[in-house]
Amino acid sequence: MYFVGFRVMEIDNSAILVSREIDIVNVISLKALDAKLSKHVKVKVFQSDKILCADIAAGCDAGIFYDRREY
């Protein structure tokens, strides 16, 4: 998963916490978090209650570019 304009601050079993930062790209492997991609992982803004993706597998906030292509 690519986070363009967001810095990945923290990752735990149920959430990826990001902060908005211009001119940054972070790349993480979702399969490293969950090999079967069966967990409900959300993306939240670090030190905030704002949720960008309630469940990566289901989709994200309409304001976030999101591409679910399989490679």
pLDDT confidence bin for 63, thresholds 50/70/90: low
Q: Which residues are within 8 A (CB) of 71 and not within 5 positions of it... i.e. 6 or more apart? A: none
Structure tokens, 31: 């399969």
Q: What is the mean pLDDT of residues 58-64?
A: 72
Angstrom distance (rounded) from CA 47 to CA 62: 21
Read off the pLDDT of residues 28-52 as tens digits, 9 standing for 90 and up: 887 777 777 777 889 999 999 888 8
What is residue 67's predicted lDDT score, i.e. its pLDDT? 53
Do residues 50 and 30 touch, judged by C-beta distance below 8 A? no
Higher pLDDT, 68 or 54: 54
Please tell me the pTM assigned to this model.
0.76
Read off the pLDDT of residues 3-14 as tens digits, 9 standing for 90 and up: 888 899 998 878
